[in-house]
Amino acid sequence: MRLHNVRLALFQPDIAPNLGAAIRLTACLGVGLDVIEPCGFPLSDKTLKRASLDYGDKCDWQRHDSFAAFAAATISRNSRIVLIETEGSTRLTDFVFEPSDVLMLGRETEGTPPDVIAACQACVRIPMAPGLRSLNVVTAGAIALTEAMRQTSGWATLD
């Protein structure tokens, strides 16, 4: 059940339990989820059921067979793709989110390819302590969704 227009997207996820955590996160926050294939694991009903536990049917999610298909879907929704990336040019707290934004997270093992970064309308980073490499992808998604929902009154749609 989707209550808010902001969406989360996973670019070619490598780790099935991270997809499960993203399904649970988006279901609980009432936001949609986009999964951009190919995944680093078979994206089957059995994998989804195991990874998402009992949250799979509570999540408004869409599969996209490529980044091009995902990008076309965001254009048809009049949405911006906001990449959450450790090398982002704008700090999360300095970025102004819009209610229709799709917050995309890069691939766990390889990050985001340059051509995909170039296709995004914004590239945002979560500030971290010096010398540390990155957060877990779903943790980064939760932090970014928290700020996007705060800015766009998304929390008002929840209990």
Query: Crossing angle of helices 137-151/16-29, nearest 10°?
Result: 20
* CA–CA gap between residue 78 and residue 97 (Å, rounded): 14
* CA–CA gap between residue 9 and residue 104 (Å, rounded): 4
- pLDDT reading at 158 higher than 80: yes
Residue 46, SS3?
A: helix
Give pLDDT, residue 16.
Answer: 87
Residue 158, SS3?
A: coil
Q: How far is CA 94 from the centre of its chain?
A: 19
Model pTM?
0.92
Q: Which domains does the chain have, with CATH numbers?
A: 7-157 (3.40.1280.10)
* CA–CA gap between residue 77 and residue 56 (Å, rounded): 23
Question: What tens digit of pLDDT does each residue of 1-34 get?
Answer: 567 789 999 999 999 889 989 999 999 999 999 9
Average pLDDT over the chain reads 90
Give pLDDT, residue 157.
Answer: 83
- DSSP bridge pairs for 63: 35
